[in-house]
Amino acid sequence: MPQTEAQLRYSFAPLVKRVSPAVVNVYASRVVQQRRSPFMDDPFFRQFFGGGGLDTAPRTRVQQSLGSGVIVDPSGVVVTNYHVIANADEVKVALSDRRELSADIILKDERMDLAVLRLKDGGKEFPSLDFADSDALAVGDLVLALGDPFGVGQTVTSGIVSALARTQVGASDYQFFIQTDAAINPGNSGGALVDMDGHLVGINSAIYSRSGGSIGIGFAIPSNMVRVVVKSAMSGSKVLLPWVGADFQQVTAELAEGLGLDRPRGALVTNVTPAGPAAGAGLAVGDLVVSVDGIDIDDSNALNYRLATKGVGGNATLGIIRSGKEQSLSMALIAAPETPAREETAITADSPFAGMMVVNLSPAVIDEMGYKGRRTDGVLVETIIDGSAAQAVGFRQGDVIVEVNNVAIDSTRRLAGIASGGADTWRVTIERGGKLIRTRLGG
């Protein structure tokens, strides 16, 4: 790497030569089935022709996605974005030396848009990058972005850290991104953002663009968050994040004035779950959380990030403002409990619910699924099979089934039993996005 400021002005080549072998291309493929005739989606044609004379035999089609990844352990552990490998049946990784290896998905977390792979049949140690402390980054620091934009081959772009703690990006449930003007384009997803020491400071994840190309506004997931996911993957467990047990509201300029603040900051408590960690710490509705372990936070996304990077175990000190006075509260960092048990159930009976996978609501399920409604019990739709009856009638992932034919749905077993009972008409109440929707199906 460049040893002096003068050398730095001339070339990044020594640094790129050292870090680029750890940046890989990720190819994900998925086999999907589809009807040959689109007319069979029309009830008129099905009724009068019954499929006779129409080419209805299913055919397979391979969907492919292309992205980048970073080797973060010599044993062949690769981190990439969740959206690169989501629903993939097969994943292959192309190394910088042109070897192509199959990879197993050992962990994927949609909430943080991260996935961890393990290379197979490598036969030797792989070049890897060490994690940097992303909290040590400062606006104006030089960074390099490495990846495979548009599938043209490994590419390196340079820039600076344009901003930190960006929380309105919308690329994952945990909004806390590094913004950079180093060009990031389609295919760069999952690639490396490195500092001038050659350490990984972030995983390139998203861009802001009206055309699909880079306009100098790119976002990377900070390495301190990536480290949490990789640590979980290597220990063979799913990602466990601290459960707060409270809801928060963004502090606007108008609200800040009413609270007597000099500027909008912090996360305003709007609801506290009984018996949750927030309640145990003494947090109350109307409190304003302004710091975690002495680090200022501007909103609830920053609060979630700070707690997530601390992980489960121990305590966090929350700095709050209550009735205009500053206080400190100690909150236990525990994982959300899975009570009741999720009892994951596939609905297969001939009914509008056929093709959905449902689970019982619990704090753990609410946290994992990013459920935003107000219900604390019930049955949540985890997944829906493409082309299934459930998809055809309009059910969506994340719906909570509240009632069917005037029977309250309090467990997955209850729903499975009603679905298998058969009915001509189904009167269904669901909660979606915090709103109740009542509908009648069939009949």
Catalytically active residues, by annotation: 83, 113, 189
How distant, in Å, are the alpha carbons of 211, 377, 379 from that of 399?
33, 13, 8
State which H helix or E strand residue 71 sits in.
strand 59-73
CA distance 376 to 362: 7
Would you tell me how many other CB atoms lie within 10 Å of the CB of residue 294? 8
The single-letter code of the amino acid at 256 is: A
| 259: nearest Cα among 239, 304, 289, 237 | 289
Q: By the 8 A CB rule, do 116 and 228 touch?
A: no
Strand ranges inside 138-286, DSSP E: 142-147, 155-166, 177-180, 192-194, 200-207, 218-222, 246-250, 267-272
8 Å CB contact between 329 and 283: yes
Phi, psi angles (nearest 5°) of residue 37: -110, 120
CA 46 to chain centre: 40
Q: What number of helices (H) and strands (E) belong to the chain?
A: 11, 25
Distance CA 5, CA 328 (A): 44
Number of Cβ atoms within 10 Å of the Cβ of 325: 7
